[in-house]
Amino acid sequence: MSNLPNEAFRDTIGTIDDQGKRKFIFPKKPSGKFYEYRKWVSYLLLVILVANPFVKINGNQFMLFNILERRFNIFGFPFWPQDFYIFVLFMIVGVVFVILFTVIFGRIFCGWICPQTIFLEMVFRRIEYWIEGDRGAQIRLSKQEWNADKIKKKGFKWFLFLLISFAIANVFLAYIIGSDALFQMIEDGPLEHLSTIISLSIFTGVFYFIFVWFREQVCIIACPYGRLQGVLLDNKSINVAYDFVRGEKEEGRAKFNKQEDRAETGKGDCIDCKQCVNVCPTGIDIRNGTQLECVNCTACIDECDVIMESVGLPKGLIRYASEDEIEKKTPFKFTARMKGYTAVLGILIGILIGILFLRNDVEATILRLPGQLYQHKGENISNIYTFKIINKTHNDFQNVHFKLVGIKGDLNVVGNTAFKVPKQGMSSGTLFIEINQYILESERTNLNIEVFEGDKKIETTTTSFLSPRSFD
Ligand code: SF4
Ligand code: SF4
């Protein structure tokens, strides 16, 4: 990149002025092939994002992240705290997936999938264009005195932004407390759920602040994923990139002149119209090369294509390409690093699928009561235990009971011998096991206990039984 005109961009951020103050970006309204594709992808993702907490599979919310009650559903699979390792594995697979994608396709996630970009560019920004007009009109409006027109436009925009922020906060809440709880709250009225209403107001305030003011700063300074780019990207990663070889040629970029033949003069194809800069929502100049601020939104590709078409030059001066492809004309290659990440990803997904299929629908734990050893009851030794049965299925378990196997003894549950375990619920209690001391061979005996629902065995668990060292 040594033939670039100046390197001053490295010392500054496009959204901060010389005094260190925030420079508000007024990007030109994008239009073109990629913007149209992104619109459709965004509509689909918005529907998924909003529908996730309201869709149910077998009575389970499709996506639920109830941190408060430690209940999680992913793709309709309920996860209990006991399944936390699967949840962690899910997260690891997600991270490896994003890393792999970043190594190959750069920040494609940011431009096409990230909810922040989708909401900002496809919802809030489009409302802004609708109310305030395109870049020029927005700049004029922001500079003009506060008159009736400005109050009307800004007031209406902020009101709509507040409503949408409130709606997003409700969806966000449905992910956390569950859609049923959210509907119940609406039915009961806000006064019945003051603490939740306070949380809802805070979420609304945060979303409002982000989409009205903070905007691209989330991607530039707050998002940890953005900070990882420097480590993940290399010369072979595909990014939204300016073809500096073609754009600069021997004589560099230059304004368009209808009368001259650029091939003859040695001038580059970039006509320095700066439309790629004007359309950029993070305020950068892609001609300076790959930068951390670039969210790969493709707006500059579309914009430059329109310019190239209008001056009769081939499209694609800004396009998806790797630096090697531009500089050395090397076509895309699946590198050893990419192969390594793909292999790791494949293995993790395999393990995850295996664990999901092998996961028990019922979990039983029987633990000796802490601090208790054993008691003599005539010829028998008795141990006391606490038990917990988790039912992850969608059916209530009736008539649940235990059976001691492999050794003769009595197992008695305190209260009812047979009990219920509700669907997606848990039952716990206390039980005693008594075994004749003469059949115990050591001071610690491992016991197998089967759990039945009626006649059907639903789980087998183990526990230990303590007895005196000698029975003399
Ligand atoms: S839009 Fe294209 S031609 Fe115009 S300045 Fe950007 S790269 Fe150059
Ligand atoms: S440089 Fe291009 S792709 Fe990157 S954020 Fe700006 S407009 Fe989007």
pLDDT digits (tens, 9 = 90+) for 62-102: 999 988 887 888 888 788 777 888 878 888 888 888 787 78
Check pocket membership of 284 for ligand 1, CB cut-off 6 A: no
Q: What is the mean pLDDT of residues 300-327?
A: 95
Q: Are 104 and 218 in contact (CB under 8 A)?
A: no
Cβ-based neighbours of 154, under 8 Å, separated by 6 or more: 141
- Please tell me the residue having the least CA distance from ligand 1 atom 7: 270
Q: 216 alpha carbon to ligand 1 midpoint, in Å?
A: 22
Beta-bridge mates of residue 410: 434
* The two structure tokens encoding residue 158: 């902020």
For the cut 70, the answer to whether the pLDDT of residue 6 exceeds it is no
The pLDDT of residue 441: 86
Res 433: pLDDT: 95
Query: Whole-angstrom Cα distance, residue 168 to residue 360?
Result: 35
* Token pair of 462 as six digits: 């183990």
Asked if residue 459 lies in contact with residue 359, where contact means CB atoms within 8 angstroms, the answer is no
- Ligand 1 atom at minimal distance to the Cα of residue 277: 6
**Residue 430: enclosing H or E segment and its boundaries?**
strand 425-436
pLDDT-based confidence at 380, cuts 50/70/90?
very high
Q: Which residue has tokens 């754009």?
A: 247
CA distances from 386 to 170, 306, 448 (A): 40, 72, 15
CA dist 307 and 311 (Å) reads 6
Cβ of residue 287 lying under 6 Å from some atom of ligand 1: yes
Which atom of ligand 2 lies nearest, measured to the CA of 295? 5
d(CA 57, CA 73): 10
Which segments of 247-370 are extended strands (E)? 318-321, 362-368
pLDDT at 1: 42
pLDDT score, position 355: 80
Q: Which of 4, 31, 253, 273 for a ligand 1 pocket mutation test, highest count of atoms within 8 Å of Cβ?
A: 273
The DSSP result for 402-415, as a single string, is EEEESS--EEEESS
The C-alpha R_g of the chain, in whole angstroms, comes to: 32
Cα–Cα distance for residue pair 451/472, rounded to 1 Å: 35
| Token duo for residue 144 | 């003009």
Mean pLDDT of 193-208: 94
SS3 state of residue 239: strand
The ligand 2 atom at the shortest distance from the C-alpha of residue 276 is 7
Choose one of 295, 301, 306 to mutate for the ligand 2 pocket test, by most ligand atoms within 8 angstroms of C-beta. 295
Residue 5 has pLDDT above 60, yes or no: no
Ligand 2 atom 7 nearest Cα: 280
Total residues found in the chain within this entry: 472
Higher pLDDT, 426 or 274: 274
Residue minimizing CA distance to atom 5 of ligand 2 = 294
Q: What is the mean pLDDT of residues 217-240?
A: 86
DSSP 420: E
Question: Separation of 294 CA from ligand 1 center, angstroms?
Answer: 16
| Rounded alpha-carbon distances, angstroms, from residue 176 to 7, 54, 78, 200 | 46, 12, 14, 11
Distance 460 CA to ligand 2 centre (A): 58
Tell me the average pLDDT across 268-286: 95
Beta strands of 248-337 (E only): which ranges? Answer: 318-321
Residue with tokens 């006649």: 455
Best of 237, 298, 303, 305 for a ligand 2 pocket test (most atoms within 8 Å of beta carbon): 298
Domains, the chain, ranges and CATH? 1-143+216-359 (no CATH), 362-466 (2.60.40.10)
pLDDT of residue 470: 63
Most informative mutation of 317, 319, 326 for ligand 1 (most atoms within 8 A of CB): 317
Neighbouring residues of 109: CB distance < 8 A, sequence distance ≥ 6: 98, 101, 102, 225
Residues with CB under 6 A from ligand 2: 240, 279-282, 284, 286, 294-300
Tens-place pLDDT, residues 395-442: 889 999 999 999 999 999 998 778 899 987 889 999 999 999 889 888
pTM attached to this predicted model = 0.81
> Which ligand gives the minimal distance to the CA of 111?
2
Would you say 92 and 330 are in contact if contact means Cβ atoms under 8 Å apart?
A: no
For 41-45, 56-60, 98-102, 239-243, which range has the lowest pLDDT when averaged over its residues? 98-102
Ligand 2: distance of its center to the CA of 303 in Å? 10
CA of 42 to the centre of ligand 1 (A): 26
Cβ atoms of 364 and 461 closer than 8 Å: yes
Q: Which ligand is nearest to the CA of 268?
A: 1
Q: Choose one of 284, 301, 307 to mutate for the ligand 2 pocket test, by most ligand atoms within 8 angstroms of C-beta.
A: 284
Cβ–ligand 1 contact at 421 (below 6 Å): no
Q: How confident is the model at residue 2 (pLDDT cuts 50, 70, 90)?
A: very low
Task: Output the DSSP codes for 31-81.
Answer: -SHHHHHHHHHHHHHHHHHHHTTT-EETTEESEEEETTTTEEEETTEEE-G
Query: What's the chain's average pLDDT?
Result: 90
Summarize pLDDT for 134-183 with one digit per residue, the tens. 999 999 999 999 999 999 999 999 999 999 999 999 999 999 999 999 99
Q: pLDDT for 127-142, tens place per residue?
A: 999 999 999 999 999 9
Whose C-alpha lies nearest to ligand 2, atom 2? 300
- Per the CB < 8 A criterion, the answer to whether 260 and 127 are in contact is no
- CA atoms of 342 and 166, how far apart (whole Å): 40
